[in-house]
Structure 1
Amino acid sequence: MGGRHLMVDLDSLGRNDSWDTVTAAVAGFGVSGFAAADNLLFLGATVIALDENPAGKEEKADLLRTLGADIRLGPGATATLPDGVDVLVTSPGWRPDAPLLAQARERGVPIWGEVELAWRLRDPDHPAPWLAVTGTNGKTTTVQMLDSILRAAGLRSVAVGNVGLPIVEAVMDPEPYDVLAVELSSFQLHYTDSMSAHAAVVLNLAEDHLDWYTGPTAMADYAADKGRAYEHVQRACIYNVADPATEELVREADVVEGARAIGFTLGMPAVGQVGIVEDLLVDRAFIEQRESSAAELCRIGDLASPAPHFVANALAAAALARAHGVDQAAVRDGLRAFRPDGHRIAHVAEHAQVTWIDDSKATNPHAALSSLQAFEPVVWVAGGLAKGARFEDLVSRVRERLRGVVLMGADRNVIADALARHAPDVPVIDITDGETGAEEDPMDRAVVASAGLAQPGDTVLLAPGCASMDMFANYGERGDRFAAAVQRWIARQT
């Protein structure tokens, strides 16, 4: 069945070729799936789009049907790989053991992610370099910082990938970009083989998505996928000096001859690194006099936040930009202009000498740890879907900072158990059990509980360490609900 794909030489096809002999199945009809299907149709391919969940996708499905696509939405749509498929383009959330992907492997059908497709569809006459960012935490902030720097340098840049514009749309834009700031998740990298980034960074490595990566090798498999960002790098592999696992991924990578390993550090940089000297971000990697001096990039005070993880992201973005040849002034101007998206260490309010901070985007323990280390003392609001993660290390490292903890969500007991073992003296309130009063909204209960624990000079920090979908549509709604509950509570006090 379906042997037709053996007759198609996919590796010979690019954006200027006709794809009319290719039948492509697209698994998942979300943002990246639609972009892949749309552009494959434009190239002349026969496209079959498959998705079990039709909600909110009908309009786009009708559009692509008009253009000739075969759109199959609804229960059972992804149970069987159609016959005659030459390539399967999968959305990043699909696990490798999904039946559709397993059938593709059994038949010898190549499996590409959107990143792989996009790399193959770059304009050969104007192949905009890719500056790639991955890691457990800080990807979006770093990519957006990088985009701000590139624009300050006068380059036509755009943030793409796991944030912003789908990469396929960016590479197929008839007006070519000068450079792409590419955010890549481990899921996207899993299905990527050909990419050769100009420069790449793995910001950090910590347990995450252990509901997707399973078994005794889960963490190693997750790290290996992150390390794919370094494969075939042309100029610079940027690593985190404080996270030796990222440097090890650089050592293991097969890079283009001449590519350099460049560290970023919150300490004094060695030769070949960017880092901090007093209150300055400095470069000892991309200047000729690096053996004896360092070039000033900007001041910590130029950044939107002095939080250590925010400064580290700025250093990583600066290193990528410098690897691309951006001058010091543009790095400074781009970092000065950058302001983070909402729900990332966002100041909500200050009342009665207590500061309220929304970091709802801290959706795993590593991100929560970064937030907690930026404040002291802290009333920590946490909980949600833990995705298989553990909290023992986090609690051990921040217990001296904790005034108290307010827990909510499906996996709150995972955090409660870690607190009981490693911080037994820290007060813990489980608002899901309704201990704090009659308010119906759980965020109102969380805010009331937090206010009861906080003392003047404290910070109440929503840094859940967990995903949000057990109680909220997404981390944005969770943060919005927290901010609204804080404002309601303050209004009642005045």
Structure 2
Amino acid sequence: MTRDLAALTSWHADWSGLKVAVLGLGVTGFSVADTLVELGAEVVVAAASGSDEHKQLLDVIGARFIPAPDDRAVPTALEDFEPELLVVSPGYPPSHPLLAWAERHGIPMWGDIELAWRVRDKVRAAEWIAITGTNGKTTTTELTATMLVAGGVKAAPAGNIGIPVLDAVRDPEGFDVLVVELSSHQLHWFGRNEGGEIAPLASVCLNLADDHLIWHGSAEAYRDAKAKVYERTAVACVYNLADIATREMVEDAEVQDGARAIGFGLGIPGPSDLGIVEGVLVDRAFLEERRTSALELATLDDLRDSGLASPHMAQNVLAAAALARAAGVTPAAVRDGIRSFRLSPHRTEQVLEQGGVVWVDDSKATNAHAANSSLSAFGSVVWIVGGLLKGVDIAPLVEKHAPRLRGAVVIGVDRAAVLDAFARHAPGVPLVEVDEPQTDSVMPAAVSAAATLAQAGDVVLLAPSGASQDQFSDYADRGRRFAEAARGHGRRNDDEIGIEPREGGDRDDDAGADPSGATDTL
């Protein structure tokens, strides 16, 4: 008898004996397997790799690991298992052979977020606030949760931020609100299955720029995945006034009756918007007299004290404030949340100031959109750039910011594309190419090269515009190695590295911040 998966919409439904295959054994995959075993399902986990710890824990909880190292073949053990359901970790692209196999055999496929939504009532069913965007997701998620907590709401950040939603759902204390960061990979699986339709209290797509094009297959598919964040929203669809794509997503979304469109931007807000008036962040959305009045939320001085004063960070603050206000917290709680907030590491984090040169770690700038915001915040930059470009053309970014570049240091496996962009659009910018095969050598070489290029008044900026997994374990590892190398660069002899900058022409040493940076978003 085929199980009616549409009926599995509660922790307290009958999950016993359901045969589930989980794809992936990272943090998300293990949380899925652990949850399903607890529900009484029969679980196997298929993955190309996984930590020894996770494999051992699978044995402990009663799940089985199936090695799936060959992308072209379906493991016999997985076929023999005959799963009734596949739960897919975010790393598996839609084109993966295992997903094609499941499609051919009519096996339903869920993402981890759909499973979490279905079983969210284990303790008590928290409201969800859903956050996505090409950039700024993690900061906005953390800010929103901080504002909610400041308002007395029992809230927690979860999702793509690093805390699996399933772990938050199973917390024995429970939550009033979960603030869920969603990647485009997770959103891809939304709305495919009856009973699994997520309905957030409030939602936002912060911005949209090309990213993950190889994973999704096209810019349109990437955009369509992001747009799913707004579907079935109950109270507020928050969008970026400076990004027409996000407004169009809201206009196209099927939402619940009474849901409102709430804009945010750096200018004077209209009714139903949040914005800035004479150095004050104001709310003209969540008050009865919004056509004639506004509520003060915080000041730009508050943002400066918390390291949030750059244009893209201010937009993140306004988006978070709109989400928190949609959940019912007061303006005072928004202000208190901002004042108590501190940025997580590797997000425009100053790690050193020496000899008039400031060293800034923005390793979280893993795409051109984020790097654009980061570069726009500084006037004269030595740019450490490169990594996995994920199919995105970096040339427009190089062309736009060439006037502010003292020089550039190119790292990563996709160096050829970066070097070509500089040759075509910024031939006068001095370049150093770091061709170091060992992870331990990359950042010492890059920092030493940057030190030879930088002058007093410059910022040495790690804003790679690419993913990190080509040379590092993740963006945090990349940023940490940069910070360590920067702090130690004065104690090293640059000659030991043996890297000399290529000759470049003149640059505009008086280049200031690009005015367009005022509307850039992280």
TM-score by length of 1: 0.93
- More displaced stretch, 301-310 vs 197-206: 301-310
Identify which of 4, 7, 12 aligns with 1:9: 4
Identify which of 140, 144, 159 aligns with 1:161: 159
Given that 1:50 and 1:78 are in contact with CA atoms closer than 8 Å, whether structure 2 keeps it comes out as no
> How big is the shift at 1:453?
2.0
Paired residue for 2:34? 38
Paired residue for 1:372? 375
Paired residue for 2:20? 24
Paired residue for 2:340? 337
> How big is the shift at 1:78?
5.2
Distance 1:99 1:443 in 2: 36
Distance 1:483 1:62 in 2: 34
**1:139-197 Cα distance to aligned partner (Å, 9 max, x none):** 11110111111111111111110013211122233322010010000001111221111
Distance 2:116 2:459 in 1: 44
Secondary structure at the counterpart of residue 211 of structure 1 = helix
Paired residue for 1:271? 271
Secondary structure at the counterpart of residue 214 of structure 2 = coil
Distance 1:406 1:164 in 2: 30
> How big is the shift at 1:125?
7.8
Q: State the one-letter code of the partner of 1:483.
A: A
- More displaced stretch, 447-456 vs 364-373: 447-456
> How big is the shift at 1:137?
0.7
- Residue 312 (structure 2) pairs with residue 309 (structure 1): yes
Inter-CA distance 124–480: structure 2 relative to 1 (3 Å threshold): closer
> How big is the shift at 1:280?
1.4
Paired residue for 1:192? 190
> What does residue range 154-233 of structure 1 map to in structure 2 within 5 Å?
154-193=152-191, 194-214=197-217, 218-233=218-233
> What does residue range 112-151 of structure 1 map to in structure 2 within 5 Å?
112-123=110-121, 126-151=124-149
Gaps in structure 2 of 5+ consecutive residues: 192-196, 494-522
Q: State the one-letter code of the partner of 1:318.
A: A
> How big is the shift at 1:71?
2.5
- Residue 74 (structure 2) pairs with residue 71 (structure 1): no
Q: Structure 1 residue runs of 4+, over 6 Å off? A: none
- More displaced stretch, 323-332 vs 469-478: 469-478
Paired residue for 2:502? none
Secondary structure at the counterpart of residue 161 of structure 2 = coil
Distance 1:224 1:325 in 2: 29
Distance 2:316 2:251 in 1: 22
Paired residue for 1:107? 105
> How big is the shift at 1:451?
2.1
Inter-CA distance 441–30: structure 2 relative to 1 (3 Å threshold): closer
> How big is the shift at 1:444?
2.4
> What does residue range 287-302 of structure 1 map to in structure 2 within 5 Å?
287-302=287-302
Secondary structure at the counterpart of residue 441 of structure 1 = helix
- More displaced stretch, 405-414 vs 238-247: 405-414
Secondary structure at the counterpart of residue 147 of structure 2 = helix
Distance 1:105 1:386 in 2: 30
Given that 2:235 and 2:258 are in contact with CA atoms closer than 8 Å, whether structure 1 keeps it comes out as yes
- Residue 465 (structure 2) pairs with residue 465 (structure 1): yes
Paired residue for 1:437? none
Distance 2:56 2:447 in 1: 45
Distance 1:87 1:287 in 2: 46
> How big is the shift at 1:315?
0.8
Paired residue for 2:96? 98
Secondary structure at the counterpart of residue 329 of structure 2 = coil
Paired residue for 2:515? none
**1:107-164 Cα distance to aligned partner (Å, 9 max, x none):** 2211000000011112188321101110111111110111111111111111110013
Secondary structure at the counterpart of residue 16 of structure 2 = coil
Distance 2:29 2:255 in 1: 30
Distance 2:74 2:462 in 1: 38
Distance 1:484 1:62 in 2: 34
Distance 1:490 1:163 in 2: 35
Distance 1:432 1:267 in 2: 44
Gaps in structure 1 of 5+ consecutive residues: 435-439
Given that 2:468 and 2:478 are in contact with CA atoms closer than 8 Å, whether structure 1 keeps it comes out as yes
- Residue 242 (structure 2) pairs with residue 247 (structure 1): no
Q: Aligned pair count?
A: 479
The percentage of aligned residue pairs carrying the same residue is 49
> How big is the shift at 1:423?
2.2
Inter-CA distance 261–170: structure 2 relative to 1 (3 Å threshold): same
Paired residue for 2:85? 87
Q: State the one-letter code of the partner of 1:452.
A: T
Paired residue for 1:321? 324
TM-score by length of 2: 0.88
